[in-house]
Amino acid sequence: MKIFKNGTVVTGDGKTVLERGNVIEADGLIVDVNLHYDENLESYAEEVIDCTGKCVMPGMINHHQHGITFGPMFASGCVNYGEEFIMSHLDRSLLQGHTTLLNIDGFVTMDEVKATQKTHPIRIKAATTHSPTNYHAGELCDGKGFLPKHKEMTVENMLSEGAICIGEVGGGHTLGGGGQDYLYIPRAVKERKGKDIDYLQARAMKLSVLGRYIEESYYDRDRVAQALKDAKLDSFLTPEETKDIVYKTTLASVKVALDGYREAAILAKRYDVPLMIHNAPTSKYIVHEIAKMGLNTLICCHSNYLFTKDECVENGRYLKQFPGVILDAAVHDPWGAKALVASPENLFAFYENNLIDIISTDFAAGKSDSMLEAIQHAALEEKIVGLAKAVRQGTSRVGEVLPRLAPNLGLLKKSYFADIVVTEYPTLKNVERVYIGGKLAAKDGKVIR
């Protein structure tokens, strides 16, 4: 038995915040959540954790992460970043207060997921995009991580073996998003010119050639020349070279990747499973098309990303009218690295307009801020959402939307699994302890294996 006493307890139900509350755990389950208990219980407890000045809540359920299994990454099917990165990335996620992760690198196989799970205490589940058109899009963009077993796998078999949904269909790599900025365009420039460029320079190249909606007809030589000058690239890149690089890295896979949305939607409807799709300017209209198909659960990923603030709000409101549509808001990295997203403006706009169904981190080149940091800023500092509601959007609500992801998790409630996070309060991003199934998994910045 463990007793967490005198903390600010947020149960995850969207309503309950107990000041000086207590949580009692036994045999990996929540036994009770209360304001008072018989102190004689403490003599039977394995551990009594004084949570005065701290917050106690369910472990965050992060339904959108990449690079966390020993298999191909992203919609492009690239080679993963290696075991050292994967383990570090899992550690980082756990220390941020995430106790369950959904791997949405959709080409991994369940044996790769299980092999990874054996190495780490965090709960790992998987999604699938093993369909012909999505394979083809991956190969057009990269595909170097594909082995015969990945190409032989099917969505049907993955679902029967334990995948919990279809996704992520599309991505910043195959659809001209952030993945092109931090991976493929810099790689192509390095190979062709022997020069290193950063993600902002790569993004400037891409946007000057194709625009925000990734259109072949957008190209204008003078515009590209000015962009190269502004980005300090004009000393070694011409507009023609830039066009060629961007067309080859970015444009080739886009049309096929968009066709992959329709293929995945048909499969999601056939097998009656949730579908997770990349929602960005490039895919806006195909997302609208899929929203009208009447799927039971359609998760529009990172709906606050890449659009302008007004665009993401307008698009979110439009999508909300369709039954089954779930809007995911991604945290990304606006407080830490500030690489993919320099400001939380769009995320805050989603909170202010009550557009968020569920939240996640997304990858952000492996440097995403935590869900708890977003909750801290939005609920306790900006006060644009209630704390109870904000925590629910990252815990029990995720479990409701994706029921196979985190059964019996996401709530501090009797008989639920004791995935518990203890943080500083009100500085929620500072996680002090993480318990998974009642077992201490991390403490004071160190993972316990």
Positions in the chain whose pLDDT score sits under 70: none
Instruction: Say if CB 22 and CB 3 are below 8 A apart.
Output: yes
Domains and CATH numbers, the chain: 2-58+409-447 (2.30.40.10), 60-175+254-369 (3.20.20.140), 178-251 (no CATH)
Element of type H or E holding 254: helix 254-271
pLDDT of the residue at 178: 85
pLDDT of the residue at 177: 86
Its pTM stands at 0.95
* Chain centre distance of CA 223: 34
Find residue 123's DSSP bridge partners. Answer: 100
Tokens encoding 9: 């307890």
pLDDT of the residue at 42: 95
Instruction: Say if CB 4 and CB 56 are below 8 A apart.
Output: yes
Find residue 174's DSSP bridge partners. Answer: none
CA distances from 52 to 6, 244, 425, 430 (A): 5, 60, 9, 15
pLDDT of the residue at 224: 98
Report the distance separating Cα 11 and Cα 30, nearest Å: 11
Q: What is the pLDDT of residues 137-169, one digit of tens each?
A: 999 999 999 999 999 999 999 999 999 999 999
pLDDT of the residue at 72: 98
- Say which DSSP state 231 is in: T
pLDDT of the residue at 210: 95
Residue whose entry in the numeric block shows the structure tokens 């048909």: 266
Tokens encoding 428: 């929620």
Q: What is the pLDDT of residues 47-77, one digit of tens each?
A: 999 999 999 999 999 999 999 999 999 999 9
